[in-house]
Amino acid sequence: MDGASVSVQGLGKRYGAVRAVKALGIEVRSGEFLSLLGPSGSGKTTLLMMIAGFEMPTEGAIRIGDRDVTYVAPNRRNIGMVFQRYALFPHMTVADNVAFPLRMRKVVKAEIARRVADALALVQLQDFGKRLPSELSGGQQQRVAVARALVFEPPVLLMDEPLGALDKKLREQMQIEIKRLQRRLGVTVIYVTHDQEEALTMSDRIAVMRNGSLEQIGSPIALYDNPATPFVADFVGKTNFLEAVCHSCNGTGLEFGLGQSGFIHLKECPPTLPSPPRPGDKIRLAVRPEQIRILRLGDSDRPPLNGVVEAIIFVGSFRTFLVRLAGGELVHVQAGTDHGMAYPQEGERVGLTIPSQAVQVFPDRRQ
């Protein structure tokens, strides 16, 4: 089985006056694992429904491989799909569920039996063929849904928040299993999720959607390290936003003032700004919590950025310090657990240092 490319061009969907999806263009490469990530109402599910053929677009085109499927009936698209609540047929056994797409394709009986057995073995449910879906656990039903969607060897697999109903531990286990299956079979996967962690761990690329439009598309690392907009910075991973004013911009770098809280110095102009800022420009800075270093201060130390530790949250592998800056901003600082280190206490005054490559700079346009 080889994955097919999926190409979405100028795709739009209108419900009355509401534009659920706006002139969307995405090129999914063959064999790629692409996640559609966005909050509810961002249009990601509508996009998936249009690729599956359950919703007809009001404009634009969808191509799978080199075939235009924009207005093709869903049963003629040859796309596998795993639904949010699995959508297993409750009146059929597990084996009959998995055999369903093969029967629809008039595959001969002996071959159906063989391929159903193979598909169930693929998801480690070989002994469950005679059970009804209601007799299986959530995780098992999920696997049956995957087997049913893959048994007819579709070049593209759509998944609509397939792990949303599972508990955390099972979800993480299924993430690894799905990823492994996808690598082994080479199938193109388009995966809808609102869970940014899930998108980050599973995807080759992530398309972040917002209000029916594509906000940014890129690899998880690119999205995390170089978010194109404050929305992406905020939605993918955790981010501290700071309002700042440009003080100076010259050969030695940029300096941003944070009012009473202090200032931040950058070595060079960041790529997210179209042009270097001029002194007086208002700017939004975004910094990941784990990029900030926390320093315990002596009595005479006066670092450029400092504040008071307001609370410490212990999360096991790391701890988060909530630091209140002098100007009133609350900054999250994340530090790995290091038993040799003496951590600052609550109420203690601390200094913060931020490496200049860790700062994302956005023009201050309220979005």
Nearer to another protein, 134 or 252 (CB): 134
- 259-318 residues near another protein, rule: CB under 8 A: none
* Contact of 240 with 286, CB cutoff 8 Å: yes
Please name which of 143, 217, 147, 162 lies closest in space to residue 48, comparing C-alpha atoms.
162
Nearer to another protein, 82 or 331 (CB): 82
Under the criterion CB under 8 A, does residue 4 sit at the interface with another protein? no
Closest contact distance (angstroms) between CB of 64 and another protein is 14
Under the criterion CB under 8 A, does residue 53 sit at the interface with another protein? yes
Under the criterion CB under 8 A, does residue 165 sit at the interface with another protein? no
Under the criterion CB under 8 A, does residue 67 sit at the interface with another protein? no
Under the criterion CB under 8 A, does residue 52 sit at the interface with another protein? yes
Nearer to another protein, 58 or 213 (CB): 58
User: For 228-256, b where at least 16 C-beta lie within 10 A, e where not — what string?
Assistant: bbbbbbbbbbebbbbebbbbebeeeebbb
Q: Is 40 exposed, middle or buried (0-12, 13-18, 19+ CB in 10 A)?
A: exposed
Figure out which of the listed residues 16, 90, 251, 347 binds another protein, where binding follows CB under 8 A.
Answer: 90
Under the criterion CB under 8 A, does residue 250 sit at the interface with another protein? no
Helices assigned H by DSSP within the chain: 44-52, 94-104, 109-122, 138-150, 168-185, 196-202, 220-225, 230-235
Figure out which of the listed residues 67, 105, 238, 267 binds another protein, where binding follows CB under 8 A.
Answer: 105
Closest contact distance (angstroms) between CB of 185 and another protein is 17
Interhelix angle 94-104/109-122, rounded to 10 degrees, is: 130
Under the criterion CB under 8 A, does residue 109 sit at the interface with another protein? no
Figure out which of the listed residues 54, 173, 279, 303 binds another protein, where binding follows CB under 8 A.
Answer: 54
Q: Is 57 exposed, middle or buried (0-12, 13-18, 19+ CB in 10 A)?
A: buried
Figure out which of the listed residues 38, 43, 101, 218 binds another protein, where binding follows CB under 8 A.
Answer: 101
Q: What angle do CA 155, 158, 163 make, to 5 degrees?
A: 135
Nearer to another protein, 77 or 288 (CB): 77
Under the criterion CB under 8 A, does residue 330 sit at the interface with another protein? no
Closest contact distance (angstroms) between CB of 247 and another protein is 56
Backbone dihedral angles phi then psi of residue 163, each to the nearest 5 degrees: -105, 5
Question: From CA 178, how far away is CA 189, in angstroms rounded?
Answer: 10
> With contacts defined by CB under 8 A, how many residues of the chain interact with another protein?
29
- Contact range with another protein by CB under 8 A, out of 126-134, 193-201, 259-267, 327-335: 126-134
Under the criterion CB under 8 A, does residue 104 sit at the interface with another protein? yes
Please name which of 350, 230, 336 lies closest in space to residue 291, comparing C-alpha atoms.
336
- Contact range with another protein by CB under 8 A, out of 72-80, 112-120, 225-233, 250-258: 72-80
Cα separation values, 276 from 140, 279, 283, Å: 55, 10, 11
Please name which of 194, 227, 165, 195 lies closest in space to residue 44, comparing C-alpha atoms.
194
Closest contact distance (angstroms) between CB of 2 and another protein is 19
Under the criterion CB under 8 A, does residue 129 sit at the interface with another protein? no
Please name which of 169, 140, 173 lies closest in space to residue 181, comparing C-alpha atoms.
173
Residues engaged in binding another protein (CB under 8 A): 52-54, 73-75, 77-81, 83-85, 87-91, 100-101, 104-105, 132-134, 148-149, 152
